[in-house]
Amino acid sequence: MIQELYRKEYGKMVTVLCNRFGLAHMDAAEDIVSDTFLSAAESWGMSGVPSNPVAWLYAVAKNNALNYLKHNNIFEQRIRKDLLRAEQRYEMDIDLSDQNITDSQLRMIFAICHPSLPVEAQVSLALRVLCGFTIDEIAQALLTSKGNINKRLFRAKEKLRAEDVEIAFPEGMEIGARLDTVLVCLYLLFNEGYYSAGADSVLRKDLCLEAMRLAYLLIGNAQTAKPRVYALMALMCFQASRFDARIGDGGELVLYEDQDIRRWDEELTGRGGQFFVHASGRGEVSKYHIEAAIAWWHTHQAEEGEKWVNILRLYNQLLILEYSPIAALNRAYAFYRVYGKEKAIVEAEGLQLSGNLFYHSLLGELYTDVDNERARQHFAQALALAGSAAEKAVLERKLNDHS
């Protein structure tokens, strides 16, 4: 119970406090909120959970924050300036209303997704500060060590201080470019959850849901509700609709072909469709539009021929817009579905992505029944490159079929 609250409320409170104190005081904001949860654990443990736990948390955090303000030179540096400003009456309050939480989070997204930070740092920081993940959970979700995450967060905060980044909504012309940085971060956050085969599936799903929640915040604001934001949201809905179907009962990865269609979430597909309608018709075609369209075909039971012809066309379009190895490999797979294995082998080998796990497993797939010895070699190479147990299991099965 307190853990759920932590996940839900930690980020909100830290974000509101950061908005108030300034980004340079992020550590103080985190300390205050952590202390609040510590006292909650003590006090609730002794005298029982209050009837409105969230209100309790907010009240205690508020008090702690006000004490901090009073006793710290933040008051001197920031607040007094406000006080001295003509007519502006300064109220000694911390605003934890829904509206201010939402506004603060929106400003915080832009501060965290600052172009001066590498995208991995943005993702970690977003998970910590906006999503209330513990260091442990972030390390698990991103398949790295706690030490690494701590270092990453420390450096990111230092950088934000050094760059004197303000928690503010970007202005006018700036919004477009800043929004693109935010979308890259959310896209990565979602993909970390969706594709990483390491962490447990509950945690991974949380990552996806958080990415969707943050994207939804952007949609809720007129200045950021751009077509490409809707497109990203549609993409995430379409992908997430298969989340349950692609995880087996034992936590193993269920390949697309083997998924139980009844476990696809139609409600999410429907929501995705609505977002896609909002994304379209305004003359903007981003990579998120194209990827959403591809994902739509995957959630859609269509005649196989028509489906893959369209998916191939979309991958062509996507690659022309922006190259990525994974898109190139997916295109080669779509090529196989349309034109058969032998032609697809030529396409795939032309990619020269030797040393890429998916390159070798794709070629293993394509050479199967064409040249089984080569197929075996590629699966073996892929297996050597596989990192997670789930991936290894799939490849070992394939390799066994060839011996």
Partner 1 sequence: MQEMMTAWTNWIGGIAARDRLVDRGHRMGITGSKTIAAGNLVTDGPYTEIKEFINGVMYIRAENIEEAVELAKGCPMLQGKGKVEVRPLVTADDFS
- Contacts to partner 1 by CB under 8 A: 309, 312-313, 315-317, 319-320, 323, 325, 327-328, 331-332, 335, 347, 350-352
Q: Measured from the CB atom, is 255 or 320 closer to partner 1?
A: 320
To the nearest whole angstrom, how small is the minimum distance from the Cβ of residue 159 to partner 1? 30
List C-alpha distances in Å: 335 to 297, 332, 339, 345. 15, 5, 6, 9
CA torsion through residues 258, 311, 194, 227, sign: negative
Q: Measured from the CB atom, is 303 or 373 closer to partner 1?
A: 303
Q: What angle do CA 67, 73, 77 make, to 5 degrees?
A: 120
To the nearest whole angstrom, how small is the minimum distance from the Cβ of residue 331 to partner 1? 5
To the nearest whole angstrom, how small is the minimum distance from the Cβ of residue 194 to partner 1? 22
Q: Measured from the CB atom, is 329 or 395 closer to partner 1?
A: 329
To the nearest whole angstrom, how small is the minimum distance from the Cβ of residue 272 to partner 1? 25
To the nearest whole angstrom, how small is the minimum distance from the Cβ of residue 325 to partner 1? 8
Q: Measured from the CB atom, is 325 or 387 closer to partner 1?
A: 325
To the nearest whole angstrom, how small is the minimum distance from the Cβ of residue 381 to partner 1? 20
What whole-number distance in Å separates Cα of residue 398 and Cα of residue 403? 9
To the nearest whole angstrom, how small is the minimum distance from the Cβ of residue 309 to partner 1? 7
Let me know how long the chain is: 403
Query: DSSP letter string over 128-193?
Result: IIIT---HHHHHHHTTS-HHHHHHHHHHHHHHHHHTT----PPPTTHHHHHHHHHHHHHHHHHHHH
Place of tokens 């030179």: 73
Q: Measured from the CB atom, is 247 or 332 closer to partner 1?
A: 332
Q: Measured from the CB atom, is 274 or 352 closer to partner 1?
A: 352
247 strand-pairing partners = 253
Q: Measured from the CB atom, is 209 or 338 closer to partner 1?
A: 338
To the nearest whole angstrom, how small is the minimum distance from the Cβ of residue 328 to partner 1? 4
List C-alpha distances in Å: 39 to 88, 135, 137, 219. 35, 20, 22, 36
What whole-number distance in Å separates Cα of residue 141 and Cα of residue 143? 6
What whole-number distance in Å separates Cα of residue 102 and Cα of residue 221? 10
To the nearest whole angstrom, how small is the minimum distance from the Cβ of residue 356 to partner 1? 13
Q: Measured from the CB atom, is 247 or 348 closer to partner 1?
A: 348
Place of tokens 């469709």: 273
Q: Measured from the CB atom, is 338 or 385 closer to partner 1?
A: 338
- CA proximity to 213, closest of 240, 180, 177: 240
From the CA atom positions of the chain, what is the Rg in Å? 24
| 367 contacts 342 by C-beta, under 8 angstroms | no
